Amino acid sequence: MPRSQCAGRDVDGFLADLPPSTNRYTYEGKERFEEIANTEYHRLHRLLRQLQSGLFDISLNISEYFVIIIDPPSFQRDFSLKLNVGVRQFYNPTLHILILKWTLPEHSEVTRLFYDALMEALLPMGLKEAIHGYGGTSISLGGGIIKEPNGGWGPRYPRGIAKRPSVVVEVGLSAETKLRNDARMWVDPTSGEANMAITIKVSRQKPMIKIQTWEWDSNARCPYITQSCVIEKTGDDITVSKHPLTIPFNYIFRRSPGCPRETDIRLQKQDLVKIGTGVWEMQEL
């Protein structure tokens, strides 16, 4: 499908947040897409093995993303169902951009550990069964835009009420700018409608994890960082730059606490250290 130079510049600007090594393709049918996905999967894992063995130059950025240029009718026809349990997708129908992110072990492990910490905090409140998970769920952000977060939670609503995550988690290994723009989409009241976005940047080269929380500034009409925490290990010493990490009760449940035991969720230093050590053990760092 012909595209104007203006549209091309829009695409380039939109994709500028991805690592430079991110490959782009034009959609040529499902069979060709499966070949591309298979090639991208093996390319990424080959580079990761080389990185782990020290055969790969760590100054070169490895991208867990790849991009398909696909028009809305083709997307609706061929990608209306979930692609793959190992892939998270984002689709912008205006720019004809489908961004696919492979779910690597770091994504899964840090999301799982964060979820476990959240559940432990909710247990004494009697609210462990009161939230619904949205990890890997396709969420409409308006204007035909579809996005799947790494993780997300919101209150359980009665049948018939629209269900959306009120707190969202996005994990990245290669593109911190992409995480910031993901946070913007999630907390924007005209698109994601989430009360808070949590971005988690996991380093592949050293035992370091940066967790930031984002909210929406209605005056400046942009997201801003409300908390920033770095979990880092040097030798046997683990440091946490800021704690506790707090998720306000009303942010996740969209209501005020109803009794004294219902309080803000506070992940203490030991909770954050547990998240870090779990990821690093998996990474063998």
* pLDDT for residue 174: 79
Tally of CA atoms within 13 A in the half-sphere of 142 that contains its CB:
8
The chain-wide mean pLDDT, for the chain, equals 88
Pick the CATH number of 105-283 from 1.10.10, 3.40.50, 3.90.1570, 3.40.1350: 3.90.1570
Identify the DSSP state of 135. T
Query: What SS3 class is residue 16?
Result: coil
pLDDT, position 8:
45
Among 83-87, 89-93, 212-216, which stretch is predicted with the lowest mean pLDDT? Answer: 83-87
Task: Write down the residue that tokens 């499902």 correspond to.
Answer: 30
Question: Is 155:252 a contact under the CB 8 Å cutoff?
Answer: yes
Residue 95 above 70 pLDDT? yes
Query: Given a cut of 80, is residue 250 above it in pLDDT?
Result: yes
6 vs 109, more confident: 109
Cβ pair 150, 111 in contact under 8 A: yes
Top pLDDT among 82 and 203 is at 203
The tokens of 4 are what?
A: 């104007």
CB-CB contact of 72 with 96 (8 Å): yes
Which pLDDT belongs to residue 16? Answer: 87
Q: Inform me whether the pLDDT recorded for 97 exceeds 60.
A: yes
Q: Is the pLDDT of residue 185 over 60?
A: yes
Task: Look at residue 145 in the predicted model and tell me its pLDDT.
Answer: 92
What is the bridge-based pairing of β-strands 265-267 and 245-247?
antiparallel
- Domain segments of the chain as ranges: 5-102, 105-283
Look at residue 81 in the predicted model and tell me its pLDDT: 54
Q: Confidence class of residue 4 from pLDDT cuts 50, 70 and 90?
A: very low
Does the pLDDT value for residue 1 go beyond 50?
A: no
Residue 194 has pLDDT above 80, yes or no: yes
**Is pLDDT larger for residue 62 or for residue 274?**
274
Q: Can you give the pLDDT at residue 232?
A: 97
Please say whether the beta carbons of 194 and 166 come within 8 A.
Answer: yes
pLDDT number for residue 47: 83
Assess contact for 156 and 130: CB atoms under 8 A: yes
The pLDDT of residue 82 is 55
- What integer pLDDT is reported at residue 11 of this predicted model? 74
Which among 247, 71, 278, 78 has a CA at the least distance from the CA of 167? 247
Please compute the mean of the pLDDT values over residues 79-85 and round it to a whole number.
61
Q: Flag the least confident range among 1-5, 106-110, 139-143, 193-197.
A: 1-5
Q: Give pLDDT tens digits for 14-60.
A: 788 898 889 999 999 989 999 999 999 998 888 887 777 766 555 45
Task: Kindly state the helix (H) or strand (E) to which residue 89 belongs, with its residue range.
Answer: strand 87-92
Question: What is the secondary structure of 162-224 as a DSSP string?
Answer: ----SEEEEEESS-HHHHHHHHHHHH-TTTT--SEEEEEEE-SSSSEEEEEEEEEETTTTEEE
Q: Is the pLDDT of residue 234 over 80?
A: yes
Q: Which tops the pLDDT comparison, 36 or 12? A: 36
Answer whether 145's CB lies under 8 Å from 91's CB: yes
**Residues 100-109: pLDDT tens digits?**
999 888 999 9
DSSP per residue, 36-88: HHHHHHHHHHHHHHHHHHT-S-TTSPPPSEEEEE--HHHHHHHSSS---TTEE
**Contact assessment for residue 83 and residue 100, using Cβ atoms and an 8 Å cutoff:** yes
